[in-house]
Structure 1
Amino acid sequence: MQPPLPPAVGQSAQDLFRSGLFCAESVVLAVARAQGVASPLLPRLASAFCSGMARTGGPCGALTGAVMGVGLALGRSNAGDPVQPAYAATQRLVQEFEARFGSRDCRALLDGCDLNTPAGQAKFQEQGLAQRCVRYTGAAAEIAARVIADGR
């Protein structure tokens, strides 16, 4: 059976985000499902990466979820296995995401919104910034699905 096309993986991630999961959780789950992998551990593993690494303003959770998905598909299982397929795909993923959105960091992608403060939380709600996160989530999953397919 063929894995879903990258746009379908992106749509799945957006649907998961809209259902209440956060960015990294949604992306890793969508990318894993596209690979035929199902585990309740996947969103749990990704939770601390959401909101720019637990609201620290760090790397975008959608992007880190996509990196986890790439690792799941192309990563190594043993010390002697090659790491280059996962590295090459991850480098391409990060480059494409950053070229498309201008940054890889949550705070920058959300116009300086500090999600770790009440004021930042209010700004996030008032300015509808979750809509951006939906877009980042879908794009990260779609790019990941594409680089995984190209890396196989």
Structure 2
Amino acid sequence: MDEAKIQELKKKAEELYGNGDYLCSEAVFAVVNEYLGQPLPPDAVRITSGFPVGIGRSGCTCGALNGAIAALGLKYGRTGPKQENEKIMALSKEVHDEFKKQFGSTCCRVLIKKFEFGSPEHLEHCIMVTGAATEMVLKKL
């Protein structure tokens, strides 16, 4: 995929989050699902609805990262028992490690600790993280 297409889809994920259509994990997943020709119906975005704010507001693993890993599964995940899973495991680790390197943590509460929750600055930061996670996945497809 060329860089222009990646940037277009990254922006789309950022807009889906920024305009309130979806939260971080949902935006990443929806964009990748659409890009891949919808291997799952659009309402499958519900699979990722519990990931935002660090998994159901627990502050743990960033929802955008969780959405990115779920999105990788659309292309590389297993479709039945006992199938090979080395590729999805390796790519998931790569995205995790890249995310951690770029942001210093994978933990939502760490990523947003300097922002007042719900503030414009918090929203701007999470939009940027959502876009970055989308870009990371797209580069693996």
Global fold match (TM > 0.5): yes
In the aligned structure 1, how far is the partner of 2:106 from the partner of 2:87? 21
Is residue 30–residue 42 contact of structure 2 (8 Å, CA) maintained in 1? no
SS in 2 for 1:50: coil
TM-score under structure 2 length normalisation: 0.89
The alignment covers a number of residue pairs equal to 138
Give, as a single letter, the amino acid of the residue that structure 2 aligns with 1:90.
S
Partner of 1:68: 70
Residue 78 of structure 1: how far off its partner (Å)? 1.5
Q: How does 1:1-152 map to 2 (within 5 A)?
A: 5-20=5-20, 21-37=22-38, 39-111=41-113, 123-126=116-119, 128-148=121-141
| TM-aligned CA deviation for residue 19 of structure 1 | 2.4
C-alpha displacement at 1:112, in angstroms? 6.3
TM-score normalized by the length of structure 1: 0.83
Q: 5+ residue gaps in structure 1? A: 114-122
Let me know the Cα RMSD of the aligned residues. Answer: 1.9
Instruction: Report the CA distance shift for 1:5/1:84 in structure 2 as closer, same or farther (over 3 A).
Output: farther
Larger relative helix fraction: 1
Deviations 1:9-65 (A, max 9, x none): 211210111221100110100111111115233321111111111110110000000
Q: Give me the whole-angstrom Cα distance separating, in 2, the residues matched to 1:138 and 1:30.
A: 10
Distance 1:72 1:127, change over 3 A: same
> Radius of gyration: which is bigger?
1
